[in-house]
Amino acid sequence: MDASRPPKRARQACEQCRRKKSRCPGERPACSYCQRLGQTCEYAGDEEPDYTRKMEQRVEGIEGKLEALIECFSNRNPPLTPSPTTTFQPRQQYPVGIANTPLMQHSSVAQGALQLFKTYCNFQPLPLFNCQYFPASGEGRDEELLLAMRALGLRFSGNGIADPETRRQIKEWAERSRCMVMTRVMEGSVELSTLQTLCILTFIDYTSGHTMRSGANLRLATYILQNLKFGSAELANLENERDERQLLRWSIHMLGNLTGEPSPRLTFGNKKDLGVAVCAIQLSEVWGLAQSYAASPVTADSPPPWAPQSDYSRITFRHTEYESVTPLKYRLHETRLDELTGPDLQQRRDFWGHCLFFQMVFHAIPCLLNHPLLLSARLRNFRYTMPQSFLRHSYEQITLHAGWILHFIELLEAKGYEVSDPTLGQCAVIVATIYLQHSFVEDLFFREKAQSGYAKCLSFLQRMALRWPNIERQVENLRQLRSSISAGDVQNSQQTWSVNVHLLRDILISAPPKQTATDFLGPGLAMESALHTESCTPDPEFGLIGSAGISGHKTVARNLVTYYPPEQVLQPTPPDMSALLGEPGGLTGAPDNAFLQAQDYGRFIDNWLDLPTYS
């Protein structure tokens, strides 16, 4: 052995050598270095065996408690009652390697699911990650976040959730991600990725019908966020934002509006263009209010819809206010959506996803506000006092805005563009119920157009049902609703129809399945759940479905008319204002000219003021 080689470092240095950062020979009870210097030599942890034994017992007890908690959340085995010294064997299901299932024997499947998340989920609608810097490989991301992203992205592979193996793999990934998140919460090791995972799990649970669990996830994420000082509370352009803390803040804000957990209102005072993502976040607030409007019970002292203090009027104001602050370049005539090809849209899905959200949700809100079923509950006490102009306005609103949503459905189908945002699917569901009601009117032309519109909405939803369980459930609900419509007596040469109104209401509010409570609560609490609903029975107050808008409802006096004069069509042609606008065809019925530009409004006002006055 070469004597010139330095001695090996001792396994444990004495306190004197450790303090001086010297190489300790390690002799016991005193090292030669301390003996040579004549100083006291001490080694830390001389009572280590007993201390280590106690610490091991404490760790075992903590692990036992965590294991019991995980078992309770998984709902697979009866809960355990651990003692501080109990030792538990780890569950086989958690944690395990990703490649333990037939679908995951190849890492390419997991990598493909991550890429599908980036293509079809990010910024559609939640702006969780910057698209340009999104790591396609997932390098540097925590395991629970990768599992959640794969669980959501795998929905867009092949036949989606129609494939039992894909559905099973999605469920397994989501459960493992959920267990990892809860473990981080219990251990006190929550990170940014934990909150991002909670957002994705909330979206997965909500669209799967597990609304109680999604609400718990979202409130936990919101509570943690409220106790942190990161991410500015002021809106900024998110399309180029690289700070994921900022993106997380506004993703949670938007997620609350979409899932029935509305967030505090944003300020509309900023007229600066902050990008289409911010426009979508602002509109999600109005959408959340419209959803609450649909689900809220109506009391005997509720004001009429046309009253300024009514929820109908307040939401209508917010809807109009939102349009007033939206930059013109995001409106239909400026985006030139009809001129683009399918590959053009596919290349910028992160941008067009929010553009389509803006267009379809904007038109779906008036359809929901003026839906005949929801208005009927608010008009019950005003049968002989309701203004005829309000009925006509309501009919015009659902006819106009439902037509626009059908236009987008046809346009996207022609371009071969797959819509991946389930919120847009719910917009189509609302319009489908309106077309279904109008499919039974006496007018042949109107009836055939409504039947065609219903069929197109249903076809659009069937494709989305391959990706989203909630849309799959809504398609089945629409079919049941169609089957529930039955003929009644013929009175005054008019056929009456009855419909299952409880099912119709569940469709409009996207009610979760009845077994949701048992998926989250134990048997002792499941029967006490507020989500429990009674069996559906037809409501005699909604006995005439084959009518235009609300006109045929029993809450409306029969001498009130919503139709236009006989010589006009069902959808009135806008008056010719070319003389005022200064150019021919200033207002046309073509979709690409539906919104006047800013200079058109200014020219209109100037020309109006220039008209001669008469004394």
Tokens of 123: 């910024």
CA pair distance 451, 435, nearest whole angstrom: 7
- For the beta carbon of residue 47, count every other beta carbon within 10 angstroms: 8
Q: Which residues contact 10 (CB under 8 A, 6 or more apart)?
A: 23, 24, 25, 26, 31
Low-confidence ranges of the chain (pLDDT < 50): 1-3, 5, 47-48, 75-105, 489-493, 532-546, 551, 557-615
Beta bridge partners of 490: 495
ω before 82 within 30° of 0 (cis)? no
Calculated CA dihedral for residues 270, 273, 276, 282, nearest 10 degrees:
10
Calculated CA dihedral for residues 409, 414, 417, 418, nearest 10 degrees:
50
Q: Where are the domains of the chain?
A: 9-45, 105-229+237-267
Q: Nearest 5 degrees, angle CA 22-CA 27-CA 32?
A: 60
Helix boundaries (H) for 370-421? 372-379, 388-415
- For the beta carbon of residue 57, count every other beta carbon within 10 angstroms: 14
Do 253 and 285 form a contact (C-beta atoms < 8 A)? no
Which CATH code for domain 9-45? 4.10.240.10
Structure confidence at residue 161 (pLDDT): 95
Structure confidence at residue 101 (pLDDT): 43
Q: At what angle do helices 372-379 and 501-508 cross, to 10 degrees?
A: 110
By residue count, the chain amounts to 615
Structure confidence at residue 487 (pLDDT): 59
Only one residue has tokens 């109005």, namely 286
pTM over 0.85: no
Do 435 and 402 form a contact (C-beta atoms < 8 A)? yes
Q: What is the separation of C-alpha 250 from the centre of its chain, rounded to a whole number of angstroms?
A: 13
- Is residue 497 within a helix (H) or strand (E), and if so which, with residue range? strand 494-498
Q: How many CA atoms lie within 13 A of 240 on its CB side?
A: 4
Cα Dmax for the chain: 121
Q: At what angle do helices 444-464 and 469-484 cross, to 10 degrees?
A: 150
User: What is the 8-class DSSP label of residue 554?
Assistant: T
Calculated CA dihedral for residues 279, 280, 286, 292, nearest 10 degrees:
-160
